[in-house]
Amino acid sequence: MTSSLDADLLQRLEVLEAAGLRRVRRPMDSPTGREVVVAGRRLIQFASNDYLGLATHPAVVEAAAQAARDFGAGSGASRLLGGSLRLHHVLEEALADWKGTGAALTFSSGYAAALGVIPALVSAQDVIMLDRRVHACCVDAARMSGAALRVFRHNDPDHLDSLLRWARRRPGTHRILIVTESVFSMDGDRAPLEALVRLKEQHGAWLMLDEAHAAGLLGDRRSGLSEACGVSGNVEIHFGTLGKALGAAGGYVCGSRTLVDHLVNRARSLIFSTAPVPAAAGAAREALRVVQSTGGRERCETLWNRQRDLIERCPGLSSSSAIVPVPAGDERLATSWSENLLAEGLAVPAIRYPTVGRRQARLRVSLTASHQPSDIHRLATALNLLRSPV
Residue with Cβ nearer ligand PLP (219 or 380) = 219
Among 167, 212, 228, 324, binds ligand PLP (CB under 6 A): 212
Q: Is 241 in the site for ligand PLP (CB under 6 A)?
A: yes
What is the full DSSP assignment across 25-54?
Answer: ---BSS-SSSEEEETTEEEEE-----TTSG
Question: Under rule CB under 6 A, how many of the chain's residues touch ligand PLP?
Answer: 13
d(CA 290, CA 297): 9
Measure the CA–CA gap between 351 and 354, rounded to whole angstroms.
Answer: 9
339 labelled catalytic: no
For the question of residue 213 being annotated catalytic, the response is yes
Contact flag: residue 227 with ligand PLP (CB under 6 A): no
CA 89 to chain centre: 23
Query: How many angstroms separate the CA atoms of 317 and 387, rounded?
Result: 11
Q: Which of 57, 88, 135, 362 binds ligand PLP (CB under 6 A)?
A: 135
| Active site (annotated) includes residue 318 | no
Q: Per DSSP, which regions of 136-231 are E strands?
A: 148-152, 176-181, 206-210
Site for ligand PLP in 182-201 (CB under 6 A): 185
Contacts to ligand PLP from residues 301-330, by CB under 6 A:
none
Say which amino acid occupies 62: E
Determine if 181 is a binding residue for ligand PLP (CB under 6 A). yes
> Of the candidates 116, 188, 251, 325, which one interacts with ligand PLP according to CB under 6 A?
251
- 185 catalytic, yes or no? yes
Minimum separation from the CB atom of position 114 to ligand PLP (A): 6
Q: Helix crossing, 136-145 with 110-121: angle to 10°?
A: 30
333 vs 29: CA distance, rounded Å: 28
Least separation, in Å, of the C-beta of 41 and ligand PLP?
A: 26
Is 49 a residue of the active site?
Answer: yes
Across the strands, what pairs with 36? 43
Nearest CA to 291 among 242, 231, 253? 242
Q: Does residue 281 belong to the site contacting ligand PLP (CB under 6 A)?
A: no
Amino acid at 120: A
Cβ proximity to ligand PLP: between 135 and 362 the closer is 135
Indicate if 200 belongs to the active site. Answer: no
Assess 155 for contact with ligand PLP (CB under 6 A). Answer: no
Q: With binding defined as CB under 6 A, does residue 210 bind ligand PLP?
A: yes
Catalytic residue among 75, 155, 182, 185: 185
* DSSP bridge partners of 105: 253
Q: Which contiguous run of DSSP H or E holds residue 305?
A: helix 294-313
Cα 45 to Cα 20, 58, 189, 196, 387: the distances in Å are 22, 20, 22, 35, 20
* Residue 243 sits in the site that holds ligand PLP (CB under 6 A): yes
349 makes contact with ligand PLP (CB under 6 A): no
Phi/psi of residue 350, nearest 5 degrees: -85, 130
Closer by beta carbon to ligand PLP, 147 or else 284 = 284
Distance between CA atoms of residues 185 and 324, nearest Å? 10
Shortest reach from residue 156's CB to ligand PLP, in Å: 18
Q: What is the DSSP letter of 233?
A: G
In terms of C-beta density within 10 A (0-12 exposed, 13-18 middle, 19 or more buried), how is residue 366 classed? buried
Nearest distance from residue 202's CB to ligand PLP, in Å? 26
Sequence-distant (6+) residues with CB within 8 A of 69 are none
Q: Per CB under 6 A, which of residues 57..96 are in contact with ligand PLP?
A: none
Q: Counting contacts by CB under 6 A, is residue 253 touching ligand PLP?
A: no
- Catalytic one of 210, 227, 309, 331: 210
Could you tell me which stretch among 68-76, 157-165, 166-174, 205-213 binds ligand PLP (CB under 6 A)?
A: 205-213
Which residue has the CB atom at the shortest distance from ligand PLP?
110
Binding window for ligand PLP (CB under 6 A); candidates: 50-58, 72-80, 107-115, 164-172: 107-115
Strands ordered across the beta sheet of 346-347: 35-38, 41-45, 346-347
Q: Which residues does the annotation mark as catalytic? A: 49, 135, 181, 185, 210, 213, 244
Binding site for ligand PLP (CB under 6 A): 109-111, 135, 137, 181, 185, 210, 212-213, 241, 243, 251
